[in-house]
Structure 1
Amino acid sequence: MASLVFSSPSSSSSALRRCGSFVSNESRCPISARNGVRCNLVEPLRFDNRKPCIPVLNDQMLPSFLASKHPENIIDKSGTRLRIFSGTANLALSQEIASYMGLELGKIKIKRFADGEIYVQLQESVRGCDVYLVQPTCPPANENLMELLIMIDACRRASAKTITTVIPYFGYARADRKTQGRESIAAKLVANLITEAGANRVLACDLHSGQSMGYFDIPVDHVYGQPVILDYLASKTICSDDLVVVSPDVGGVARARAFAKKLSDAPLAIVDKRRHGHNVAEARSLKCGDAAVDTDSFSNDVLQVIKSMLNVMLQVMNLIGDVKGKVAVMVDDMIDTAGTIAKGAALLHQEGAREVYACSTHAVFSPPAIERLSSGLFQEVIITNTIPVMEQNYFPQLTVLSVANLLGETIWRVHDDCSVSSIFQ
């Protein structure tokens, strides 16, 4: 049976000093230390999208309340401690978050038995601690979700004071409503499972729809990957007059509009998918030239492929807005198979767009996404690391930005009872 043990060397006091270097005392909520320092929010957070680098500081560069004390543990005024633990779904992101915060990941043992069952053991005390569990429920969604639930249960049984689940990518978010009769609403079910397991709060990044927040009966802090991507685009030499923000479907218009507003109020275009006629894929026979083909002889798998092909053929892509001679930036919350965004990019090129960029927070990358994204339709595909990208899925046009600083800052603000929404103002 395989087992994983996460631990890192102890360096609490130096890590505490490093924490002050990323965000100034004015732009971030300081640690509520024993001397009673309170929140002092002045300006929104600025992000560094490169890999976290920890500069060497001397005592003269530190805020006075950090330089004066060197506690062995991060302790707030109520005497509780902050602990961060990582599941196996995205250990690299968890390590970056801990590095930004000047902390070390908590020691936890996670292993899988031969029959697939998951075992979790915390290898340090969390009694009376504020615990943050970092675990996206990305593919394999069911395994990662079950691992998160068992981690929550372990913390609850270990007498943690509060348990906050940090879910960079919330799986099952697309199953947020009934579109046909007798369907389940899996997003609500997963929210119930997390709540009943013992979580006190959820910190999620770019949920597929805002209504998912209402499925939880506990507080939800919803953060956006937008600032990270916007900061990267601002560093590129693209004239603002040449930019147009494109929503790949009608459902993403609100997201694209908010993105365009931040990009110097860039114009907006919308790709509208419409069907030419009825769904012929439901017919019991097809015509190939003059010959009729009886589909009763086909297996269910073959029929599903035929239906998918016919659905694509019957979709008519219409563009609302002008992209001729412009740099089109397509914005979506996630890229799964990349079918929608690839067809939209092809339409934009057909309508005269000079370049097409794809921007998305969550890179699910189910096959055949890589083939579609690397086909030459996109100048650049910009994603974040909420979901780990496997090495074989990298291609030349891919850029991966880190949301570690964003999530780390949010954790600090939640822990210090400070405003989270002010980050995005």
Structure 2
Amino acid sequence: MSEESNDKFKIFSLNGNRPLAEKIAAVCGVPLGKSTVKQFSDGEIAINLEETVRGFDVYLVQSTNEPVNDYYLELLIMIDALKRASAKTINVVLPYYGYARQDRTAKPHEPITAKLVANLLSNAGATRVLTLDLHTVQVQGFFDIPVDNLFTMPLFAHYYRRRGMVGDDYVVVSPKNSGVQRARSLAEYLDTTIAIVDTAEENDPDSGYVIGDVEGRSCIMVDDILNTGEVFSNAAKTLMKAGAKEVVACASHGLLSPPAKENLDAADIKDICITDSVSTDPARHPEKLSIISCSDLLGEAVKRIHQDQSVSPLFTMEKKDFE
């Protein structure tokens, strides 16, 4: 980014994912802004900006994984601090949007918490949101401010194409019937067909069956959120029963909530790939875990937004871009 563009441009990080924020700042060629975040003994969060932001376009990086409520409150308090310090714009970079799974009323009297969170961010003073692989793209419609939702499928396509995992010997699998569009997107990049693992009875993983042909082929499971690992573990078992040669898996957001490590280490999965959208304790990582960075993607988006350029080229990649 040019020096002139940097004059009114700052990136700050909270506690959700500082390592990723540092990488994004490096991509943009600026240092992280200085601020302090502390918590009092009663749990109250206090934030202090240690440099001026008056008239600046500010980009605030915060993933909202565990502890999701603390991280969201940090974010809301920081937005308020930036607004009161006269920041020109407050652009929230949310690599992982917590509560995105609560995007509808599935049962009577349930809240739509993803909408509530969108309201809180807008009302606090955020002027734009940049996020990565929302659980459902419709969540963008919950906001009355601009939202750019980037996709991780090109990142995973690059990861697998470098390993020669393309063509008829492979099949991209959605481990549940709600992720078909994501599987189809990755399959287009890898020149493969798709399959779906469905479960006849919700509480009986042994009732799973495969829609599609996986016999004798290597399966690439893809999902947006890897939480406890049960979905991947059960789906891998079903795929192997159906005659799959081997199973690998990828997920945009590796929450890795216990007992994810135990579930995935015991699963018949050869390799698990996630992005660094979420920062987790290495002690929770399964042995066969690979992590690829989304910092270049998010950093390039930040630069384009700041320079009033189109973000659309980042949504997809041509196959020639992987060579």
- Alignment of 1:217 with 2:144, yes or no, is yes
Selected match of 1:172 from 99, 104, 110: 99
Separation of aligned partners in 2, 1:94 and 1:103? 11
Q: Per-residue deviation at 1:376? A: 4.2
Instruction: Look up the equivalent residue of 1:188 and give its one-letter code.
Output: K
Separation of aligned partners in 1, 2:194 and 2:165? 16
- Alignment of 1:327 with 2:253, yes or no, is no
- Alignment of 1:358 with 2:249, yes or no, is yes
Question: Size of the alignment, in residue pairs?
Answer: 316
Q: Secondary structure at the match of 2:164?
A: coil
Q: Per-residue deviation at 1:240? A: 2.2
Instruction: Look up the equivalent residue of 1:107 and give its one-letter code.
Output: K
Q: Secondary structure at the match of 1:159?
A: coil
Selected match of 1:227 from 154, 165, 187: 154
- Alignment of 1:270 with 2:161, yes or no, is no
- Alignment of 1:139 with 2:105, yes or no, is no
Identity of aligned residues (%): 44
Separation of aligned partners in 2, 1:235 and 1:124? 43
Match of 1:7 in 2: none
Instruction: Look up the equivalent residue of 2:275 and give its one-letter code.
Output: T
Separation of aligned partners in 2, 1:235 and 1:262? 12
- Alignment of 1:405 with 2:296, yes or no, is yes
Q: Per-residue deviation at 1:314? A: 7.3
Separation of aligned partners in 2, 1:255 and 1:194? 27
Q: Per-residue deviation at 1:391? A: 1.6
Instruction: Look up the equivalent residue of 2:211 and give its one-letter code.
Output: I
Runs of 4+ with deviation above 3 angstroms: none
Separation of aligned partners in 1, 2:278 and 2:205? 33
Q: Per-residue deviation at 1:186? A: 0.4
Matches within 5 A, 1:144-159: 144-159=71-86
Q: Per-residue deviation at 1:389? A: 2.3
Gaps of 5+ in 1: 1-30, 34-69, 76-80, 276-310
Selected match of 1:94 from 5, 12, 21: 21
Larger Rg: 1
RMSD over aligned CA atoms reads 1.4
Match of 1:304 in 2: none
Separation of aligned partners in 2, 1:355 and 1:409? 35
Q: Relative to 1, partners in 2 of residues 1:194 and 1:239: Cα closer, same or farther, differing over 3 Å?
A: closer
Q: Per-residue deviation at 1:211? A: 1.0
- Alignment of 1:418 with 2:299, yes or no, is no
Q: Compute the TM-score of the two structures, normalised by the length of structure 1.
A: 0.72
Matches within 5 A, 1:24-423: 31=1, 74-75=6-7, 81-264=8-191, 266-275=192-201, 312-313=203-204, 316-423=207-314
**Is contact 2:168–2:193 with CA below 8 Å preserved after alignment?**
no
Match of 1:4 in 2: none
Separation of aligned partners in 2, 1:421 and 1:342? 35
Separation of aligned partners in 2, 1:139 and 1:315? 30
Instruction: Look up the equivalent residue of 2:56 and give its one-letter code.
Output: C
Separation of aligned partners in 1, 2:169 and 2:144? 45
Separation of aligned partners in 2, 1:320 and 1:180? 27
Q: Per-residue deviation at 1:344? A: 0.6
**Is contact 2:258–2:284 with CA below 8 Å preserved after alignment?**
no
Separation of aligned partners in 1, 2:205 and 2:95? 35
Q: Per-residue deviation at 1:223? A: 0.5
**Is contact 2:199–2:205 with CA below 8 Å preserved after alignment?**
no
Q: Per-residue deviation at 1:255? A: 1.0
Per-residue displacement from partner, 1:8-27 (whole Å, max 9, x unpaired)? xxxxxxxxxxxxxxxxxxxx
Separation of aligned partners in 2, 1:96 and 1:395? 24
Separation of aligned partners in 1, 2:205 and 2:22? 46
Q: Relative to 1, partners in 2 of residues 1:174 and 1:315: Cα closer, same or farther, differing over 3 Å?
A: farther
Per-residue displacement from partner, 1:35-88 (whole Å, max 9, x unpaired)? xxxxxxxxxxxxxxxxxxxxxxxxxxxxxxxxxxx66x713xxxxx11000001
Q: Per-residue deviation at 1:239? A: 4.9
Instruction: Look up the equivalent residue of 1:86 and give its one-letter code.
Output: S
Instruction: Look up the equivalent residue of 2:197 and give its one-letter code.
Output: V
Per-residue displacement from partner, 1:267-306 (whole Å, max 9, x unpaired)? 110111122xxxxxxxxxxxxxxxxxxxxxxxxxxxxxxx
Q: Secondary structure at the match of 1:165?
A: strand
Q: Compute the TM-score of the two structures, normalised by the length of structure 2.
A: 0.95
Separation of aligned partners in 1, 2:171 and 2:312? 27
Match of 1:23 in 2: none
Separation of aligned partners in 2, 1:327 and 1:372? 21
Q: Per-residue deviation at 1:406? A: 0.6
Q: Per-residue deviation at 1:238? A: 3.1
